[in-house]
A and B are shown apart, each in its own frame.
Chain A
Amino acid sequence: MLTRLANPATFMRVSGYALPPLATAAALLAAYGLYLAFLASPADYQQGETVRIMYIHVPAAWLSLFFYSIMTVSALGTLVWRHPLADVSQRAAAPIGAAFTLVCLVTGSLWGKPMWGTYWVWDARLTSVLVLFLMYCGILTLWRALDDPGRAARAVAILTLVGAVNVPIVKFSVEWWSTLHQGASVFRIGGPLIDPAMLRPLFCMALAFTCFGLALHLAGMRTEILRRRVRTLTLLQAERLERAAA
């Protein structure tokens, strides 16, 4: 499957079919998720109405790590397997991951002010997520800084693999250090600590965010393939014109 999709023409055809259903699923799930979040779920006994911020904060946090994981696998694909679409995938994933991390940071701050009395604390979880956001920004900047796409791909892949150390730090920071941020309450041994009435909007929004992110990733990869075609044709055209002039 992966080998067949390595052909950009095949990928363009298959992704062209997959994109509309993914985007539709994202829109429908988001609409149902918003209904559950605002109209069909109760306020929390401690957090009150601010629990509704969790229905976007938590999925954004999950996807910020999910997209960095996609980038890490893609970086291995670039450096080890030299898969032709690995760099394309990494390049398309970076802005999406950065956006989800930004959503996570902004919504977390907006939840923190009424609940903790502050927008920000230098707690291990918050700081490691900020480092994740800075890694995304660094990766996006490095791509812009290097002209040669091959060199940029390798440099970004190495930086991505170095930054992957931060992924388990983000995940386990609440267990390794004493943090103001609460510990895991959904994916934990012994089952979730959250009431099903609140788990439903959370999972629905998480699915909506995942479909939305994957649709954007496919769309981004398609655009990146076109960008590379444009670059190749521009270079060929320049060579042709140079030969004609000589």
Chain B
Amino acid sequence: MMEEAGRHAVFIWSAYGATTLIALGLVIRAVLDHRAQRRALARLEAAGAVPPGRKAARG
């Protein structure tokens, strides 16, 4: 059990801490990047930009 981790506890907790930080970093990066692209797409569509396919269908 972990109460017996003793002198190695610092290595164990550092390993789990570093893994958590890297995993959180991946998730935060993914969420922020996705939001940024959605916002950019919404801005372009609001400005009247339409994908080529849709344009052709309307034309």
**Which of A's residues lie within 8 Å of B, judged by CB?**
38-39, 43, 48-50, 52-53, 56-57, 60, 95-96, 99, 102-103, 106-107, 110-111, 113-114, 212, 216, 219-220, 222-223, 226-227, 229-230, 232-234, 236-237, 240
Contact = CB atoms under 8 A, between A and B. Distances in A.
B44 A95 contact: no
Contacts of B1: 38-39
Interface string B41-59: 1001101111110000000
A111 B40 contact: no
B19 A56 contact: yes
Interface string B1-43: 1101111110110111011001101110110011001101100
Main secondary structure of the interface of B (DSSP, over half): helix
A223 to B, nearest CB: 5
A57 B15 CA distance: 9
A11 to B, nearest CB: 15
A205 to B, nearest CB: 10
B8 A103 contact: no
Contacts of A96: 26
A60 B19 contact: yes
B37 A227 contact: yes
A146 to B, nearest CB: 19
B29 A232 contact: no
B49 A237 contact: yes
Contacts of A232: 51-52
A106 B9 contact: no
Contacts of B19: 56, 60, 103, 106-107
Given A49-B4, A95-B26, A212-B23, A230 B41 contact: yes
